[in-house]
Structure 1
């Protein structure tokens, strides 16, 4: 075997091993929840436009509601945002989840009883990308559920960041 072939095999094995370790760590940090026919996640508002916001005007917020209209417990988990400038946090009564961002994976699961509503608080920091971070923005927040008909909830947030 030539040196080139041996090196190609070694590099391939390193990449394969590294990818396997990464995938395993990602799966281990994400919540795994069994799906339910009786959990029904209902979201009325799926997008929001903050309009024009000043880059130095501070963090802006929006609250979305998720209601369980089913007859079994709704489970919300694996909250993720599309950019590190945006965070999301769930709240039910006095119970609040950790704050989640773009790269956050967690075992956290919020259980929502039938008839209960959860607030999803989204925050966007227009200054996060620095003084040149002006222009249109589009950010997404996603939350996985155990609802077989809505396994992933998604919200789109937009704005025009100005000086």
Structure 2
């Protein structure tokens, strides 16, 4: 009986110390797009993270606050000490970008295994210059 109790205590202790932990590279888990135009930017960004624990890190889900932002996760567990990416694609609608992507993991260093990632910035409409207007401006500059 003492052997069974000892074995149970060892197993519980081992499980308590073996944990997956996630750390993101980006400051405050935020990527700033800056000011971009739909014509010159795909809207795709990558959040780099590392498993700093001693057990495999499993990302079970990636959820966005709206349909305009899509996230994709690694399909395999991330081994201890290894890095990977969460890819986020914004649809580049003109206007301010303020979106949150929620990552569900087995990480113990974040509350409930949930991590909030944020994207911010502004998408502007690229102004097209009329070729006749451009020529007129060039002529006025020469005079």
CA contact (8 A) 2:18 2:54 kept: no
Cα distance change, pair 36–122 in 1 and its aligned pair in 2 (3 A): farther
CA contact (8 A) 1:58 1:125 kept: no
Which residue of structure 1 aligns with residue 128 of structure 2? none
CA drift of 1:58 comes to 5.0
Which residue of structure 1 aligns with residue 101 of structure 2? 141
Q: 2:81 aligns with which of 115, 121, 125?
A: 115
Which residue of structure 1 aligns with residue 72 of structure 2? 89
Runs of 4+ in 1 over 6 A off after TM superposition: none
Which residue of structure 2 aligns with residue 94 of structure 1? none
Distance (Å, rounded) in 1 between the aligned partners of 2:34 and 2:21: 31
CA drift of 1:83 comes to 1.6
- Which structure is larger by alpha-carbon Rg, 1 or 2? 2
Which residue of structure 2 aligns with residue 51 of structure 1? 34
Query: Aligned residues, how many?
Result: 106
Distance (Å, rounded) in 2 between the aligned partners of 1:37 and 1:158: 35
Cα RMSD after superposing both structures? 2.1
CA drift of 1:37 comes to 5.1
Which residue of structure 1 aligns with residue 114 of structure 2? 152
Cα distance change, pair 50–36 in 1 and its aligned pair in 2 (3 A): farther
Higher helix share: 2
Distance (Å, rounded) in 2 between the aligned partners of 1:137 and 1:70: 33
For normalisation by structure 2, the TM-score amounts to 0.65
CA contact (8 A) 1:47 1:157 kept: yes
CA contact (8 A) 1:135 1:162 kept: yes
Cα distance change, pair 89–115 in 1 and its aligned pair in 2 (3 A): same
